[in-house]
Each structure stands twice: as structure tokens, then as C-alpha cells.
Amino acid sequence: MLAPLYDWVDERLKLKPIEQTLLDEPIPGGASWNYVFGSATLFLFVLQAITGMCLSIYYVPSPDHAYDTVQYIENEVWFGWFIRGLHHWGASAVIMAVGLHMLQVFFDGAYKRPREMMWMVGVVLLLLMLGFGFTGYLLPWDQNAYWATQVGINMAGTTPIIGDFIVRLMRGGETLGALTLSRFFAIHVMILPAIMMVGVMLHIFILRRVGPAGPHDKAQAMQGSETFYPRQVYMDAVVMLFVFCILAVLAYTVQFPLADKADPSDHSFIPVPEWYFLFHYQLLKWAPGPLVGYASWALPAAFIFCLFALPFLDRNTERVPSSRPMVMAGGMAFLVTMFVLLGISLRDLYAVPRTDPVIAKGEALVQKFACKTCHRIHGDGANVAPDLSYVADRHPEREWHIRHFKDPQSVSPGSFMPKFPLSDTQLNNLTSYVLTLKSGKH
């Protein structure tokens, strides 16, 4: 049924030459699971674009409405919580995919002549992905988003000569406010995607012109080649499906609640950046006072320069890792340093049990409205109304609790629980606390 339609379209648009270009490209040494990371990265970028477009339908980029619209997406929009979860976890996944793709290229020496330009475009794409992470972090306009962005902008301000200009450009004024949020939204949903699409097309164009590098082992590469279709397409498709399933499970099972709405006057709030910035965050904490500025901009700038210059610094024509001991040692040193700093940062963040401020405020509301005069929670309180010790096991849906707090009769006919005058923020805080009341959690 589809074949006649394809033939009809092909007769007019001449698609077969494009099909041959895309699917019949020879891969030296044959298809391999080592080559799936590029396709996985492209898939995740497309997934981020689709989920981002869905979220932007409801999102309003203003300090007065941003937080509320994200809550609306979470609690009112059909499957909005799932789409937001996919977008959140997809952001981490795409950073990991880009990193793995670059590691594979680095290990195989596929950045060497004639693929220098392809490597440099890849570095630009990595920086753009980090830009997506930084600009998107502000959009929920909660406490963590606001203060983490404030720290990031202040770090950019330490850059000599152009630091003040960068800060004014990012903020859109003297303080982080409405113009900052509007600019970050525009950069996140329009400017960066446009540049990214051009970069991806250029990356693929260069790949088609110079061809895949193949394995670093010359003997293996000379054993023959294999077309991109069908085996490599199959491998890429399997990995894409696997990655999507993981993201879907995370989006469905791991909640990503908001903190309180951004409060510029609360200077006591300590933000935590995304995990892919944590190693730099830890490095800054160790840097002596006079060197903090240099650690903020000089080290990242030097690292980015080394990435761009790598094809020209590594003049060895051999691609086998054992023939490039200095380069491989440098790459290993960077990875070890990064993971050690990341591990130390995570240890410091989670070594001492902490209560999420949102959950703590929800628990305070339980005390304020004397909920335990009717309900018992882990042995504390009366037995007049249902025991809430494990209420999240019976009702794990956030929307159910929101509706229950707004109007108990709507979900529990016959309930004698009164309607409490709760604001949207209080509803969010109380619901976040109640959802922690599960088996084994006290």
C-alpha cells in the first residue's frame, strides 16, 4: 500500500538518490555497536525538541506566570507531568550521549585528518548542549533555578574585559528578572535550536563527504566494508528504543517536583547545579579566593581550546590508542579528575540527610492546620480519620491529592474533611510531603 505512494512521490522528488546516499554509505570494517552514539544523540535532540515544543504551548516566560504555568503543566495538563519528565531526563541523557560519542571518536582517533572539521563542529555541538542545559534551568522560575542561574551569571562576570558586557547581555538589565527570563527562553527555544540544526546538518554533511572513520585497527578496517543499511540501522534503532524506554520509566516513576517560587530576597538559599556542572562547582569551592575568577573562566576556556586544537596538537598519523600514549594519558587524566570531583561533590551534597524545603514546608502545613487531630502519621496523631502513614502507596498520583485538598468530596464522597484555604504554593508543598508517606519512609 505504501509502495505505490512512495513511487508516486519519488517520481516527482527523485528520492532514491537521497536514499542511496543515506543508507548505502559503506562503513569500513562493518557495522558496530561502537557507532550508535551519534544516532542516539540525534534521537535525543529530536526528542528534546518535540517535548520542548509541547511544554512551550502552555509555558509563559514571565516571573509572574512561569512558575504557575509549570505547575499547571504538572498538575492539570493531560500527561503534562510525563512530558516534563521526558524533557528533564532527556536533558541529562543527551549530555551523556554527546560525551560518549566524543569519547568513542577520541579513543578511535577519528578526529584526525581529514576529519578535523567534523571534530570541531562536534565540539561546538557539545557547547550548545551545555547552553541548552544552562538556559533551560532558569525557566521553571523556582528557588533553585533562580539562584543557580544567578551563580552562573556571576561566574561569567569574572571574565576579564568582557565580563561586565556578558552579564548585562545575559541579564538584560542590572538584576536577574523579567528580561533575563525572557532572554533565556528566547535563547533556549529559538536561537540555540536554530544554531543546533545548522550544526547538526553541517556535521552530517562533513561525515558524508569524508566518510566514516571505521575502526582504529587497520587490519580490521581492511577486512571489508558494509553499508549503513540494514545492520547499522538496526543497531541504531535498538539503542534509540532502549534509551526511550529508560527515559519513559524515569519520567513515570521518578518525580521532579519544583522548589518554592523564586524569591530574589532570600539570599540564604543554596542552589545546586545540574550534575554535569557539579565537577566544576566542586573545583570552585576548593579554589583559593584570588584564584576563583581564574577557575571560573580560565580553566573552561583552556579546556575548550584544547578540544578545538586536538586534531592539530596530535600530529601522530596513527589512530591506534597504544601509538598515542601522551594523548590517551591526557584524556584519562581529565576523566579521572572529572569523576573524582563529581563523586566528591555528590558525597558532600548527600552525605548529610537533607529535607527538601518544599517537603519541609508541606510538613509544617500539617502542623499548622492540625491535621493530626484527625489523622495518624507513623504512630503520631488521632485515629478519627484514615491513617496517612502510607497514603502515597494507596494514592501515588499527585493530581489525586491536589483535587482532594481542593475539594475532599470530589474524590472521597462522604468525607467530613473541610476545605482548607490553600494557595497553589501551599497545595504543591503539602502534596509533595504527602507523597513521601510511603512504606519504609519515615
Q: What is the pLDDT along the chain (442 residues), one digit of tens a residue?
A: 677 888 888 888 888 887 777 778 888 988 899 999 999 999 999 999 999 999 999 999 999 999 999 999 988 999 999 999 999 999 999 999 999 999 999 999 999 999 999 999 999 999 999 999 999 999 999 988 999 999 899 888 888 889 899 999 999 888 899 999 999 999 999 999 999 999 999 999 999 899 898 888 877 877 888 988 899 999 999 999 999 999 999 999 987 778 788 988 877 777 888 899 999 988 888 877 777 778 888 899 999 999 999 999 998 888 999 999 999 999 999 999 999 999 998 888 776 555 667 788 888 888 888 888 888 887 787 777 888 888 888 888 888 888 888 888 887 887 778 887 888 888 888 888 888 888 754 4
pLDDT in the model for residue 435: 87
- For domain 23-257, the CATH architecture is Up-down Bundle (1.20)
β-pairing, 225-227 vs 26-28, is antiparallel
For residue 142, the SS3 value is strand
pLDDT in the model for residue 1: 63
Distant-in-sequence, close-in-space partners of 374: CB < 8 Å, separation ≥ 6: 381, 382, 384, 385, 417
Could you tell me if 61 and 182 are in contact, meaning their C-beta atoms sit under 8 angstroms apart? Answer: yes
Q: What CATH superfamily is the domain 357-434?
A: Cytochrome c-like domain (1.10.760.10)
- If you search the block for the grid coordinates 535532540, which residue do you land on? 45
pTM of the predicted protein model:
0.80
pLDDT in the model for residue 355: 61
Q: Which of 194, 187, 161, 155 is nearest to 172 (CA)?
A: 187
Could you tell me if 314 and 112 are in contact, meaning their C-beta atoms sit under 8 angstroms apart? Answer: yes
- Rounded Cα distance between 242 and 50, Å, is 18
Joined together, the cell numbers standing for residue 307 give 578540544
Alpha carbons within 13 angstroms on the beta-carbon side of residue 81 total: 16
pLDDT in the model for residue 393: 84
Domain ranges in the chain with CATH number 1.10.760.10: 357-434
- Rounded Cα distance between 142 and 428, Å, is 12
pLDDT in the model for residue 440: 53
Domain ranges in the chain with CATH number 1.20.810.10: 23-257
Could you tell me if 49 and 193 are in contact, meaning their C-beta atoms sit under 8 angstroms apart? Answer: yes
